[in-house]
Chain A
Amino acid sequence: MRIIVCVKQVPDTTEVRIDPKTNTLIREGVESILNPYDQFALEEALRLKAERVDVKVTVLSMGPPQARKVLLKSLALGADEAVLLSDRAFAGSDTWATSIALSGAVKEMGDADIIFCGLQAIDGDTAQVGPEMAQLLDIPQLTYAERVSLTHDLKVRVEQQMEDGSRVLESETPVLVTCVPPPSFVPKVPPMPGILKTKSKPYKVWDSKKIGADPSDLGLQGSPTRVRRTYSPPPRGEVTIIPGDAREASRSLARILMDRNIVGGVD
C-alpha cells in the first residue's frame, strides 16, 4: 500500500506581525514550522504504517529549497521517502496552481492508495488544496478527518468532524483524506534514532518538467486568483472596562449592549 502525505512549511502564525507602515508580513525572526494539520495527517499515515507491514509513506512538499527542513522532520518522524517540488515556475501559486503541481507529482509517483493532506495550512487557512487535488486526480475525498483507519478489506474509514457532531465515512481506494487534529493532539518530537535514519532515506527534488505540467498552469501565471492588496485588519478600539461591583457593572453593560442594538434589537 502506498501512502502520500502532502506537507507544507509555514510561518508560525502565532508569531506573525504586520509592519504597520508597509502592511506586509514581518517574517524576520518568525520561525518556520511543519504545518500542524499536516503533521497530524502524517502521524495518522504513520499509525496505519505501524499497523501493517506493507505500507510505504512518501512525503511530498512544494516550496523553496529551505522547505527541506520540514521534509527532513517528516522523515525523522518515520516517513520512508521525501519529494520536494522546487522550481521558480511554481512561485506565486494560488490553491489551483498548487493543486495542479501536487497532483501532477502524485500522478508521476504512480499508484497511490491514500493521499493525506492537512485540512488547511495555518498561513492561508483555505482548506482548498486537498479537494482541488482530489478533483484533478478524479478520486473521492474525505475531509475534516479526525481519525483514519483501514477496514479488513482495505477500505479507508474516517471519523469526519461536522459542525453538529461527526460522521463515520468509508471509501474505496484510491482516496484523498484531509485531516484535522483533535484538540488533544500534541505534535510528536522526532526521536533521535529517527533523526539518524533520515540520511539513509531517499530525498528527491523535482522541477516542473519532471511532473509534465503545462507551464501556463503553474505559478503566478497559472493562478486564476490575484491578490489585489493586503492590509491590516481594522483595529479594535481600546477596551472599555465597566466599573462597579458585579451587579452594577452587569447592569451598565446590559444597558450598553441593548442601546447599541447588539442584544434585543431587530435583526
Chain B
Amino acid sequence: MGIEIMREKCVGCAACVKACPFNAISMKDGKAVIGPECTLCGACVKHCRFDAIEFERPRGKEVDHSSYRGVWVYCETRRGKLMHSALELVSRARELADELGEEVGAMVFGSGAPETFTVLGDHGADVVHFSSESRFDEYLTGNLAPLVSGLILKHRPGIVLFPATHTGRDLAPRVAASLAVGLTADCTGLAVQDGLLIQSRPAFGGNIMADIVSPDVRPQMATVRPNVFKARGGLGKKPDTFEVNLNEGMIDATVRIIEIVRTSKEGVKGIEEADIVISGGGGMKNAENFRVLEELAATLNGTVGASRVAVDAGWRPRSDQIGQTGKTISPKLYIACGISGKIQHQVGMRGSEVVVAINKDPSAPIFKVADYGIVGDLFQVVPALNEAFRELLGGG
C-alpha cells in the first residue's frame, strides 16, 4: 500500500500537481514530489500520461480497526442549502457515537457551508470538514468523490453515513469502491452491537428485511433513507471546523452540465423529504382535481405525490411518482387518495409511519397496507378533512 513517483518516468509536466485535490504534490528539480498532505485518494494517477505514479489502493481489510474512530456524515446540500436529511443523520450519528464513546464528524460542501456550522453543532457534530466553494453547489460525482474519499482516508472514521438520495446513492458507492470497503444501501435502521454497525435494510421490494454488517473492513459505510431518523437539535455544540485544502486545478472536465430543469417549487419539501405526503391516483380523474390535495397539503404543510396511473396520464410530473418505478418514501403520514394500491405502489410507500387510505372501493388493496381508512368519495372526504384540520389546528 502506498504511492510513489517513479523519477525515471516523470517528465515534470505537473499534470498531477493540478489534479491533486489536497495540494499534496509539488515540483522539485523538475520532478513531482508527494508531500505529507497526501491522503492516498489516487486522483492523480489517471492524470499522469507517463505511468510515472506507482499506486496501490489502501485495502480496507488490512487495516487495524482500533485506529478508525468517529461517526461521520456526508451532509448533502442543494444550491448551497443544507438538506434536512443531514440533520437526521447527524442526530443519529450522535446517538451511535455516544454509545461508542466517539466523535461525530460532518462533511459539508458548497457556498452555504459556513452557515451550517451552528445547526450541525446543535444536532451533535463535534467536527465539520467543509469547503465553501461554489463549484460544489451543483453536484458532480467527479468533483466530490476524490475529496470525500481523501478525507476519509486521512481522518479514518469508523462509520460513514450518506443520505439515500440520488446524490448520496451516486456518491457513496463510488467512494466505497475507491476505499475497497462494503456499503449497505437504503438503511432504515442503524444500531451498534459489540462495536459493529448493524445496518437494517429492506430488500425484494420491501418483502424482506436484512441486517447487514461489515466485520472486517473500516470504515463501515451506509446510505440511509431520509425521514427515518428524527432530527434532534438543542445540543448547542460549537463544532471545530476545518476548511478542506483544495487545489484550484482540481476540476473534473470529463462530465459537463448542459442544462438544469427544476420542477419543484421553492420552499416546498420534495416528496422524499416531506413529513406528510398526500398522494393522488386514478381516482383523481384529471390534473385540475389535484387542487383539493394541494389545499390539504397547504393546511398540513405537506407535499403532494402521485401514483403511476396519475403520472402516466400526465396529471403530475414524474418526479412526484411514488412506487417501484418512482420514489420510495417514508414520511410520518401518507394519505393515499383514489389510489388502488397495487404492490408496485406499496413498494414506494410501505415505509411510511402512518398510512391513511381514502377510496370508494372498500376492497382496494391500499386498505391492506393502511392504518386508517375512509371508504368514500375523495372529492367529499378530502375537503372535509381539510376543513376538520383547519378547525382543529386553529388556523381559521
Contact = CB atoms under 8 A, between A and B. Distances in A.
Nearest to A12: B205
A267 B186 contact: no
Given A94-B182, A185-B325, A260-B354, A125 B205 contact: yes
Contacts of B380: 246
A66 interface: no
B208 to A, nearest CB: 5
B325 A181 contact: yes
Contacts of B230: 267
B206 interface: yes
Interface in B161-208: 165-166, 169-174, 176-178, 180-186, 198, 202-208
The majority secondary structure among interface residues of chain B is mixed
Interface string B346-359: 01001001111100
Interface stretch (A57-65, A82-90, A222-230): A222-230
A231 interface: yes
B387 A262 contact: no
B384 A16 contact: no
A256 interface: yes
B142 A239 contact: no
B87 to A, nearest CB: 10
B385 A254 contact: yes
B203 A127 contact: no
A241 B173 contact: no
A251 B388 CA distance: 5
A258 interface: yes
A141 B144 CA distance: 13
Interface stretch (A70-78, A169-177, A204-212): A169-177
Contacts of B177: 96, 99, 131-133, 135-136
Interface of A: 11, 13-14, 16-18, 23, 25, 36, 94-96, 99, 122-136, 138, 140-144, 157, 161-172, 175, 180-185, 223-233, 236-237, 239-242, 245-247, 249-251, 253-258, 260, 262-264, 267
6 contacts: A125-B202, A127-B173, A167-B259, A170-B256, A229-B211, A230-B208
Interface of B: 45-46, 60-61, 78, 141-142, 145, 165-166, 169-174, 176-178, 180-186, 198, 202-217, 230-231, 252, 254-264, 270, 272, 275-276, 300, 308, 311-312, 318-319, 321, 324-328, 332-333, 343-344, 347, 350, 353-357, 362, 367-377, 380-381, 384-385, 387-389, 392-393
